[in-house]
Amino acid sequence: MDAKVELETRDEISEDSKWNLSGLYSADDAWQEEFNALEKDWKGYALHQGKLGTSPKALKACLEFDLDISRKLEKLYTYAHLKNDEDKTNTFHQGNFERVVRLATQVSQAGSFIRSEIMAIPETMMNDFLQDKTLASFKFHLERILRYRKHTLSEKEEALLASSQEMARAAREGFDMLDNADLKLGVVKDVDGEDITITQGNLQSLMQNYDRRVRREAFETSSTAYEGHQFTYASLLSSSVKKDLFYARSRNYASVREQALFSENIPVAVYNNLIQSVHQNLPSLYKYFDIRKRLLKLDELHVYDCSVPLVKDIHWHMSYQEASEKISEALKPLGDDYVQTVKKGMLEDGWVDRYENTGKRSGAYSSGCYDSNPFILMNYREDNINSLYTLAHEAGHSMHSYYSKKNQPYLYADYTIFVAEVASTFNEALVTRYLLGQEIDRTMRIYLLCREIDNFRGTLYRQTMFAEFEHLIYQTAESGEPLTGDAFKNIYAKLLKLYFGENVVLDDCLALECFRIPHFYFSFYVYKYATGISAAYALADRVLAGGDRELNDYLNFIKSGGSKYPIDLLKGAGVDMTSPEPVATALEKFSTLVNELEILTA
């Protein structure tokens, strides 16, 4: 097989396998027309500047204008970024994306006076404004803004920071282009001696190959690619950290982490408790690695041995169509409306861009705007069970967005990132429950049990390790220490040793992994995967063990968007994340799964 022709081009992908963006814009010309109109409309900010403190009516008029501009911009941005992600080598869509990012910067700069003027309204007067019926629908929105009084600068300073946003994207965009378009991960020979081009989309499948030679060479070859660019990756990550540090200090935050947590009103104890709880439960993870080493009959367990299924006589194969049907069956506890909506979206309404093509963005995500369907980017592979779970995961995001936008006004439709991973991980929990509830033999049960263990390991343990890495590198930068490539690798290597224990061999090149994690360019995001899985499993247990009330509590949660702070939304659904209980419960579930695996494989 010729490795160069392994991936299809975008034009070769069938239309029914692509997402349908016609609900956003029927053609690029329609997008251009709205883009041109918004380039003129946003200048209307000037009509409101200097008037926000004159009356509740004037303040409302400005807020409504700002929301209207934001909504139009969001629609333009959504289409541009989806088209850009279809094929990173398409310069036309890349250019449109850059244009809308530039427009977003101009809009942000033009509207930057709003927060400053709101903060400048005397507290007594603002309290009167908040009691006025004119602003009733904006009350929570304004209260969230007023929390930022001590972190809001003068009007000129706010405009200056707003104008820097496009420049501030440089490190993240540089990483994105290098990692998805320019980087060549190399070629590996499969078990039949045929060449396979390693891509971001198939690397995980190669790590699950039963042939140890294949997965070792895929690991070493891809690592060599990162080693060849490690100084560039280190420079990009260091620049991203410095950018975050600049903005945090400019706005009078003690640290970047404080700024990140403040935006969602998350107590710092939630972050610290997560890391401490995981540290206390590392022995269960070490035990799992020992079981894996025993079952694979290895003298040494390397990290590239930690993803391969522990049963060799099961070859996973599930078409996209079948995966959609299985997910729909698994989600039945959430009710007919939920199931029929997500099934129709996955199979008929063009929510999903299904398969990998040359130049397509790696990974998966759910995206959209208030005026569109939710859209899911996939790189679906029929030979990888992770694709089934990823589809269910992104469908959870999409349904969270779908229900929020259906039940909330534009102002409160977007939920915060802290709760973003709850609905998605909830769906994964239901998929596992469904699969384990089928008539399966002992071997398949072991296979699925390992998949569930690895899901916990990847989401709860691994993301917590990432969160700890972020905390340490930002502490290093904030203390004035240089963030060199060696500094990044040394910090990461110490965490690898802590989280893998003494019985896993850590190849030197593994420290390079810190350069290939895209989430590090979205500071203090990854911990939310770990808190999300904890909340999700607590809610899943509650819904499955309960009745209509528990189900309605959960559905009301995903209908609530951002109408409350995330901690309060989860409390309303039945989970208190300020308590260590949800994380401890999730870790206990992991330990139970490991013990069951030990018994089944004794």
Q: For residue 477, how many C-alpha atoms fall within 13 Å in the half-sphere facing its CB?
A: 24
Task: Tell whether 566 is covered by a domain.
Answer: no
Q: At what angle do helices 56-86 and 91-110 cross, to 10 degrees?
A: 160
- Count how many domains the chain has: 1
Task: Tell whether 122 is covered by a domain.
Answer: yes
Residue 307 has pLDDT above 70, yes or no: yes
Per-residue pLDDT, 138:
97
pLDDT tens digit string along 507-517? 999 999 999 99
Task: Tell whether 133 is covered by a domain.
Answer: yes
CA–CA separation, 203 and 222 (whole Å)? 8
- Pull the structure tokens for residue 244: 């975050």
Per-residue pLDDT, 189:
94
CA–CA separation, 59 and 581 (whole Å)? 43
What percent of the chain has a predicted confidence (pLDDT) above 70?
A: 99
Domain containing 103 equals 7-168
pLDDT band of 4, cuts 50, 70, 90: very low
What percent of the chain has a predicted confidence (pLDDT) above 90?
A: 85
What is the arithmetic mean of pLDDT over 373-379?
A: 96
Residue 3 has pLDDT above 50, yes or no: no
Residue found by looking up tokens 């911009």 in the block: 73
Average pLDDT of the chain to the nearest whole number? 94
Task: Tell whether 234 is covered by a domain.
Answer: no
What is the arithmetic mean of pLDDT over 219-233?
A: 96
What are the C-alpha distances in Å from 475 to residues 27, 241, 262, 275, 472? 47, 10, 17, 15, 5
What is the arithmetic mean of pLDDT over 274-291?
A: 96
pLDDT tens digit string along 337-365? 999 999 999 999 999 999 999 999 988 99
pLDDT tens digit string along 247-265? 999 999 999 999 999 989 9
What are the C-alpha distances in Å from 205 to residues 23, 211, 301, 386, 387? 34, 12, 19, 9, 10
- Strands (DSSP E) found in 89-155: none
Task: Tell whether 15 is covered by a domain.
Answer: yes
CA–CA separation, 375 and 77 (whole Å)? 13
What is the arithmetic mean of pLDDT over 12-36?
A: 95
Residue 574 has pLDDT above 80, yes or no: yes
pLDDT tens digit string along 389-407? 999 999 999 999 999 999 9
- Who has greater pLDDT, 443 or 48? 48
Residue 1 has pLDDT above 80, yes or no: no
- Using CA atoms of 44, 47, 51, 57 in order, give the dihedral in degrees to the nearest 10: -70
- What CATH number is attached to the domain comprising 150? 1.20.140.70
Task: Tell whether 46 is covered by a domain.
Answer: yes
Residue 518 has pLDDT above 90, yes or no: yes
Catalytic residues: 394
Residue 313 has pLDDT above 80, yes or no: no
pLDDT band of 462, cuts 50, 70, 90: very high
User: Residues 198, 190: contact at Cβ < 8 Å?
Assistant: no
Q: Which amino acid is at 583?
A: V
Phi-psi region of 335 (alpha: psi -120 to 50; beta: other; left: phi over 0): left
Per-residue pLDDT, 602:
86
pLDDT tens digit string along 88-146? 999 999 999 999 999 999 999 999 999 889 999 999 999 999 999 999 999 999 999 99
Residue 5 has pLDDT above 70, yes or no: no
Could you give phi then psi for residue 350, rounded to 5 degrees? 70, 35
User: Residues 523, 244: contact at Cβ < 8 Å?
Assistant: yes
Q: Which residues contact 90 (CB under 8 A, 6 or more apart)?
A: 10, 83, 84, 359
What is the arithmetic mean of pLDDT over 169-190?
A: 93
Q: Measure CA 146 to chain center.
A: 28
Task: Tell whether 487 is covered by a domain.
Answer: no
Q: Could you give the 3-state DSSP secondary structure of residue 365?
A: strand
| Closest C-alpha to 483, from 242, 298, 300 | 242
Residue 55 has pLDDT above 80, yes or no: yes
Task: Record the pTM.
Answer: 0.80
pLDDT band of 279, cuts 50, 70, 90: very high
Task: Tell whether 217 is covered by a domain.
Answer: no
Residue 22 has pLDDT above 60, yes or no: yes
